[in-house]
Chains A and B, each alone.
Chain A
Amino acid sequence: MLLRRSRSVSSLQTNVVRPLFSSSSEPQTTLPSSSLGSACPVEDSSTTGSSSCSPGILNSPHGSCRKSALQKSLFLASAHDFAKNSCWGSPSTLSSVAWRTHDFGGLRLLGTQAAVEASTSDGLTVDRILSNQWPILDENESDWKSHATAISQSINLIKRRLQWKKLLVRLQLLSAQLEKPDIWDDPAHAGRISREQGSLMSKMKQVVAFERELLEHIDMIKLAREENDSDLELDSLNALLRMRRISKEKELEALLAGEQDSCSCYIEVQAGAGGTESMDWAAMVMQMYRLWAQGRGYGITVVDEMLGDVAGIKRATIKVDGEYAFGYAKSEVGVHRLVRISPFDSNKRRHTSFAAVAVIPITGDGSTHVQINESDLRIDRFRAGGAGGQHVNTTESAVRIVHIPTGITVTCQNERSQHQNKASAMAVLQSRLDQLEKARQTQMNMEHTQSLTDNSWGNQIRSYVMHPYRMVKDLRTNFEVSNPDSVLNGDIDGFIMSYLSASVDKDGDSQ
């Protein structure tokens, strides 16, 4: 079996369209030169025709490598490490995928992968599959054309979501920058470039690998038919079915392809005007996020909480720790409106209240790291009046930091020491300033037509109606649900996903 496979694989063709990333003299130089040492098995493998290609290409189709590769690349310190880990993988990765080793002929130049349009031995490509307009049948129907079409559609959608063409151009730009011999003179800058390049590269390679795998299985099916090998045909058909299922997951993953999407984040909720009723609403909104985050297995820490006098909260900030917390939660930014008979109104009148939600990514990798001047800060610490020092024992340790130039104010009171409250207030301030800076840069680059700032404070995004009818409706996507209780119990993924796909797919189409 194995033998046969390798034979069939060697019949795969690739049409080199345009070597996007190769420079004229040294095609490999998309990598920092220091990385081309012994860690690189590619030259050998291609010449012997038996060994492996870059593990990036051979990524497991289950998508599990993606996150870890992404994560790894985020923490890489040097160009050397970077190249070793995120381009070539560790030896163990190589062996674990060795069963699918094959040679893509002209593909050993890393940079050219994306520009090469993969095809089957008889010239079938993803585009051509789609143009055939084969009907998509139910998953249970063992029809390879149907599977292939469904998978191809997903690949197309994923590419659109990733802004494929932009991604390739950006990748080329970054790789060119990394080639410069003096790039590491400024390690912070180089680190940023190399991180971004690594993350884009890994995204690109996943899609390319997925595409290749599709075509490979199609080739295999054709071969099996030629040779009347029904085992092989069934194997390959099942492989396609597996891919078809995975492709749905990959579509979702591609929604969270933004640079900061994988970050943890802060979620802030602030009550609008309207006293106790709106403070109670703010507390309900915060509870909704806590439950949502809990359900997703994220870590939750209360950073700050200012309780209402009678009930609810005036405002609160929680830190949500976990992969893609920001990517999802960013969809919640804006004003949330509640209509109900207020339990705080003795006349049982209907009230409308508002709560504003802000979501701040915790970038942590220093990609946008605003330098904070101590002299720009006013730090207030609350404590009982009087002489202070030995005279007073209080557990009050709240700290408020005002960043004078921007007017951003952060309060933290949930830690048990003032020092810690100051530290977490500074962390929130840092993330806020980073976000502000990011938004400024984004506006400057005109990269995104719709940035977070567009729909932050002041923009109503969702309406929760308890009376006279019951419904939650997102005003951006018109996604609606008739059971407010389940939504308030944290079941907001429907809203998040519909918003994400609406905004990302719109962006993708417009390019």
Chain B
Amino acid sequence: MEELNSHGTRQMKVRLTGFGGLSTFIRPPLHRLKSTPCALSSSVLFSSSSPPASQSHQVPLFLRVPKYATPVSDLQKWYSWASDLAASVGSTFLVSDNGPDSSLLCRELRWLLEDALQEDIDPSLIHQVGVNSAQREVNLKTGIEDLYKLWIQRIEERRPFQYIVGCEHWRDLVLCVQEGVLIPRPETEIIIDLVADVISSNRGLKEGFWADLGTGSGAIAIGTARALGGCGNVIATDLSPVAVKVASFNVQRYGLQGVVEVREGSWFEPLKDVQGKLAGLVSNPPYIPSENIPGLQAEVGRHEPKLALDGGVDGMDHLLHLCQGAASMLRTGGFFALETNGEKQSKLILDYMEKEHRGTFYNAKAVPDFAGVLRFVTAFRV
């Protein structure tokens, strides 16, 4: 199951560790890494971050097999090196582009350790001193040298933490993500609450087809399917083949193959068979105005796919297209929810519905996110 072919050296390590303890021979000189992390050429360091050329998705760290026996003392060395590196960031990222500060990075470091350790080991061993614990070996899900690389990528390259560990905790789900797929945002968690509210007051909507357009990691589709609780079906679409792959994997992980169907294609194109039949249509389409793309936080702008972010000149291209399509896709009484860039876009959409689709939707309204930003538009098909 583990994908190793994208990274030849890892394959070798696996074979070597198979003989027991031999992996030490191929461990790079850590002291060099430790003292001069910046001196390493980035092309070597970042090789494992490039999206795989292969057909399958990447296996997130926490799902890999813990087969890299590592002395606790080595792990402790890495951890303290990584903490120092995180601390050296201070608030420079925060000031420059609203990026993470060192306390956030330190928390991410703890989570990285948590994901990398075999399950039955308490991560607090990293702070335990004494000869006994330091000489102990623990099994990691990746080699210690890879942990050095990963953390350098996090700090120097601003590679998103979620790509580093290959997953994002979203609602009560752990979704696998990788380069090429948008990391689901906490704001979007609310869409599932909106869906759950709607179906609890309108049970009829539980039956029938729901659609999540531009599903990315599959977050909304999976959340919706679980909210439907065994009734209905969800069709999840995306134009990006990587997204389709990753979403399918996540759907499988939650055992929803029979409930969520992932289709590849542009917006409504793969939905011809359910025209006028949808009980619900939810989407978080790209909505960032093109001119804002260059100024984005490094983690977003440099690493997340433009296809998932760029919404055209005023960010409205896809939102309006979806509004228009919703009119013909939804059945009578069908529910419609969109995530937007905020108040301005939400109002434009409500305006558009009112002017261009008069009499098509009812109960159209803008709904705030937890920060009070009017983030969502919801409506029902007449």
Which positions in A face B, CB cutoff 8 Å?
290, 307, 379, 381, 383-397, 413, 415-420, 423
Assess A392 versus B189: contact at CB under 8 Å? Given A381-B370, A381-B371, A420-B172. no
Known contacts: A389-B339, A389-B341, A417-B170. The answer to whether A395 contacts B185 by CB under 8 A is no
**Would you call B169 an interface residue if the criterion is a C-beta within 8 Å of the partner chain's C-beta atoms?**
yes
Instruction: Assess the A395–B161 pair: CB atoms within 8 A.
Output: yes
Report A-chain residues with C-beta under 8 Å of the C-beta of B168.
Answer: 417
Q: Which residues of A contact B369 (CB under 8 A)?
A: 388-389
Evaluate contact between A389 and B342: CB separation under 8 angstroms: yes
Q: Nearest Cβ in chain A — how far from B177, in angstroms? A: 11
Residues in A with CB closer than 8 Å to B124 are: 290
Q: Contact at B98–A390, with CB atoms within 8 Å?
A: no
CA distance A383 to B373 in the complex (A): 13
Q: Is the CB of B171 within 8 A of A419?
A: yes
A-B contact pairs, 18 of them (CB 8 A): A307-B103, A386-B98, A388-B187, A389-B287, A390-B185, A390-B308, A391-B288, A392-B300, A393-B183, A394-B100, A396-B104, A415-B169, A417-B168, A418-B370, A419-B171, A419-B172, A419-B186, A420-B172
Interface segment among B72-80, B142-150, B249-257, B291-299: the answer is B291-299
User: With an 8 A cutoff between CB atoms, is B118 at the interface?
Assistant: no
**B170/A419 in contact, CB under 8 A:** yes
- Set of chain B residues within 8 Å of A390, measured between Cβ atoms: 182, 185, 284, 286-288, 300, 308-309, 341
- Report whether A417 and B172 are in contact in the complex, using a CB–CB cutoff of 8 Å: yes
Chain B residue at minimum C-beta to C-beta distance from A417: B169
Q: Does B375 contact A (CB under 8 A)?
A: yes
**Are A395 and B107 in contact (CB-based, < 8 A)?**
yes
Hey, which chain A residues are within 8 Å of B170, CB to CB? 417, 419
* Beta-carbon contacts under 8 Å, B56-114 to A: 94, 98-100, 103-104, 107-108, 111
Give Cα A235–Cα B239 distance, bound, in whole angstroms: 81
Contacts of B185 in A (CB 8 A): 388-390, 392-393
Q: Is B217 an interface residue (CB 8 A)?
A: no
Residue from the set A387, A391, A392 with the largest chain B CB neighbour count within 10 Å: A391
| A396 vs B106: C-alpha distance when bound (angstroms) | 11
Which residues of the partner chain A approach B292 to less than 8 Å between Cβ atoms? 391
Taking a contact as CB atoms under 8 Å apart, the answer to whether A388 and B373 are in contact is yes
Q: Tell me whether B160 is interfacial, beta carbon within 8 Å.
A: yes
Q: What is the bound-complex CA distance between A396 and B371, given in angstroms?
A: 14
- CB contact list, B321-369 vs A, under 8 A: 339-342, 369
* Residue interface bits B189-201, CB-to-A below 8 A is 1, else 0: 1000000000000
* Residues in B neighbouring A415, C-beta threshold 8 A: 169
Among B111, B288, B371, find the residue whose CB has the most chain A CB atoms closer than 10 A: B371
Contact present for B107 and A387 (CB under 8 Å): no
Task: Check B296 against A395 for contact (C-beta < 8 Å).
Answer: no
| Other A-B pairs beyond A381-B370, A395-B111, A417-B171, 17, CB < 8 Å | A384-B94, A387-B342, A388-B185, A389-B375, A390-B182, A391-B288, A392-B185, A393-B185, A393-B304, A395-B162, A413-B107, A415-B169, A416-B169, A417-B168, A417-B169, A417-B173, A420-B169
Residue of B nearest to A399 (CB): B370
B371→A383 contact, CB < 8 A: yes
* Nearest-neighbor residue (CB-CB) of B114 within chain A: A416
Q: Give the chain A neighbours of B340 by CB distance below 8 A.
A: 389
* Contact A381/B186 with A387-B342, A388-B373, A420-B169 known, Cβ cut-off 8 Å: yes
Nearest-CB distance from B126 to chain A (Å)? Answer: 14
- B residues within 8 A CB of A416? 111, 169
Bound CA–CA A228/B296 (angstroms): 96
**Closest CB in chain A relative to B39 CB, distance in Å:** 28
Chain B residues closer than 8 Å to A384, beta-carbon distance: 94, 98-99, 297
Q: A389-B339, A389-B342, A390-B286 are in contact. Are A417 and B186 (CB under 8 A)?
A: yes
A379 to B369: give the CA distance in the assembly, Å: 11
- A413 vs B107: C-alpha distance when bound (angstroms): 10
Determine which residue in A387, A392, A395, A397 has the highest number of CB atoms from chain B within 10 A of its CB, and name it: A395
B48 to chain A, nearest CB (A): 20
Q: Chain B residues near A393 (CB, 8 Å)?
A: 160, 162, 183, 185, 297, 299-300, 304
Residues of B contacting A394 in the complex (Cβ-Cβ under 8 angstroms): 100, 104
Smallest beta-carbon distance B238→chain A, Å: 15
Q: How far is the CA of A101 from the CA of B104 in the complex (A)?
A: 64
A386 neighbours in B (Cβ, 8 Å): 98, 297
* A391-B370 in contact (CB<8A): no
Collect the chain A residues with CB atoms within 8 Å of residue B160's CB. 393
